[in-house]
Amino acid sequence: MDRTDPTKVAILGAGRGGRALLELLHQIPSIEIVGIADRDPDAPGMQRARELQIPATTHVPDLTGNHGVSLIMDVTGDPEMERYLHAHKPPAADILSGSASRLLWTLVQHESTLEAELLQSEKLAGIGSFAAGIAHDINNPLQLILGLAENLTEEQDLAAVHEQAHDIIEAVKRTSAICRDLTRYSRRASPHQDLLVSVNEKLDEALKIARYAASLHDIDMVKQYQPGAVVKGNPDELLHVLVNLITNAVHAMELVGGTLTLTTTLMDGQVHVQISDTGCGIPPDKISEIFEPFFTTKAPGKGTGLGLYNVKTIVDKMHGTIAVDSHVDKGTTLTLIFPNAELAGQGRLS
Amino acid sequence: MGEFKSGFFIGGEACEGRVLVVDDEPDIRKVVKMTLQKAGYEVLEAENGEKAIEVINSGENRLLLDVVICDIRMPKINGAEAVAYFRANYPRVPLIVLTGFPDTDMATSFLRQGVVDYLVKPVEGEKLRSAVARALEQRELAKL
């Protein structure tokens, strides 16, 4: 993509369609939204624009009178508006309206559905590989519960009965926590794209999930979290990213063991998140390919090849970047860099 | 090896046999121990394959251990490695695999290596005790 001046877009109509366009275009670095207009100041797109600090107006000429505008997107569906625009548009501006804008709206909807489907399928495919870990973590407490319950049927000592009943309750709680964590992870990502998310909490949550995908038994864990590492994005999607990266790191150390280091650092208004392993590393000629769709080093049927591709999609959406530093047989460090959302100080913490 | 028999005496009580339970979960070791002690077995514990190998190689255990019950998914030396070690170095000690993850391929491979039983958690006390009894019979037969 060429790095010329951004395309300046005005959106007319702030209903569902206008809001979706705003949301999509806002994420594209080469597009600048100069404003959105609607008769209703409380329309969903108007509220969203105010959150994103994009000008929102009830007065269409405010936008059409702006001579810097290069594209006016009319999603009002109002034939009057179409006539008005053709009479009053700035000379350099193109207009997208009527069936063209409806088609665009449909494509936008379709693309976001496809992206969500892809994320969800990759996540579910990954959960298939959790079976061994889940079985282990559920059947162990079940063994304890069964053994204690069998013993209770003939236990005479009242104090022992109380103690063992208590152990059973604790084991049931542990088991139900497993189901709670997994169902929370496996559900479709919520549509919220702009919540404040504590990276440190998400890293810990991701560790709980990643242990089903890969045994952490022979892994030494080092956590270096800086408090206040907060980013803006979709908490479910960030969790998905971290589970993916931690699982990859642990797989890289499979059989030989090693050290997994999770670091968060606040630096120059940015949050740096590092996931570091001392595993097999990535050959230099493969590094450029790892974010390509269907790239995998795993055996057929073991990986979808979509893990890092989806990671990149989500990180891009969060206005973040990914850096890879890898040395064969020494290990790999993936660094995610996000804008520090705490500075902006809006939205709510999830 | 014919001079050692099951049914020797420890602390004045009849002992049905000495069983080593290898599992990284203390809860599992506790409950398996509870289940087997009721049937008169003496139970030793190890938290992973490495510790299990230490236990079997220490002092009289080398001679007196009758059955090993082994988990698979464990840190350090895992169950599969421990099973291979026991089969190679102590072929007369019968092995029972007790795992949280049912896997047909793994079960077949273990049974081919001479593992007496492949049990999936949660297993009832009665089933566990009869597996141990069967393993002991096998040990007796091996001595003949």
Residues A88-123 pLDDT 10s: 888 888 998 888 888 888 888 788 788 888 888 888
Is the Cβ pair A142, B122 closer than 8 Å?
yes
Three-state DSSP state, A219: strand
Sheet containing A270-277: give its strands across: A219-224, A258-267, A270-277, A331-339, A321-327
Q: Which residues from B are below 8 Å from A135, CB to CB? A: 100-102
- Return the minimum-mean-pLDDT range out of A160-164, B32-36, B55-59: B55-59
Which pLDDT score is estimated for B1?
40
Hey, are the CB atoms on B31 and A218 less than 8 Å from each other? no
Q: Domain-by-domain residue ranges, chain B?
A: 12-143
pLDDT at B63: 67
CB < 8 Å to A212, chain B = none
H helices of A89-130, where? 98-128
DSSP for A289-333, written as a single string: TTTSTT---SPTTT--S-HHHHHHHHHHHTT-EEEEEEETTTEEE
CATH numbers and ranges of domains, chain A: 7-112 (3.40.50.720), 130-186 (1.10.287), 195-344 (3.30.565.10)
- Model confidence at A4, pLDDT cuts 50, 70, 90, reads low
Residue in chain A closest to B29 (alpha carbons) equals A144
Nearest to A140 among B28, B78, B124 (CB): B28
**Do A181 and A210 touch, CB atoms closer than 8 A?**
no
Our CA-based measurement puts residue B26 at a distance from the nearest CA of chain A, in whole angstroms, of 10
Its ipTM equals: 0.85
How far, in Å, CA of B47 to CA of B29, rounded? Answer: 8
The answer to whether residue B105 neighbours chain A at the CB level (below 8 Å) is no
- Parallel/antiparallel/unpaired status of strands A270-277 and A258-267: antiparallel
Q: How far is it, in rounded angstroms, from Cα A81 to Cα A98?
A: 10
- pLDDT tops 60 at residue A250: yes
Mean pLDDT of A256-279: 94
Interface check for B101 against chain A (CB to CB < 8 A): the answer is yes
pLDDT in tens, B109-133: 898 888 999 999 999 999 999 999 9
The gap from C-alpha A69 to its chain's centroid, in whole angstroms, comes to 32
Interface contact B80, partner A, CB < 8 A: no
- Mark out the alpha helices in chain A (DSSP H runs): 16-26, 44-51, 61-64, 79-88, 98-128, 131-152, 158-186, 199-213, 235-252, 284-287, 307-317, 341-344
Q: Is CATH 3.40.50.2300 the classification given to domain B12-143?
A: yes
Of B60 and A335, the structure prediction assigns the larger pLDDT to A335
Rg (CA), chain B: 14
The minimal CB distance from B125 to the residues A136, A150, A218 is found for A150
Distance from the A151 Cα atom to the nearest Cα atom in chain B, whole angstroms: 8
Higher pLDDT, A149 or A76: A149
- What's the rounded Cα separation, in Å, for the pair A7 and A1? 13
Q: What is the pLDDT of residue A347?
A: 46
For residue A208 the two structure tokens come to 């709980």
Predicted local distance difference test score (pLDDT) of residue A53: 86
Instruction: Give residue-wise pLDDT tens across range B72-104.
Output: 888 777 788 889 998 888 888 899 999 988 888
Closest CA to A274 of A211, A237, A323: A323
Banded model confidence at residue A67, pLDDT cuts 50, 70, 90: confident
* Residue A132: closest C-alpha in chain B: B101
Give this prediction's pTM.
0.72
Q: Is the pLDDT of residue B50 over 70?
A: yes
Residues of A in Cβ contact (< 8 Å) with B34: 147-148, 151
Percent of chain A with pLDDT over 70: 95
CA distances in angstroms from A33 to A81, A121, A203, listed in the order given: 19, 33, 34
Answer for the pair A8, A63: CB distance below 8 angstroms, yes or no: no
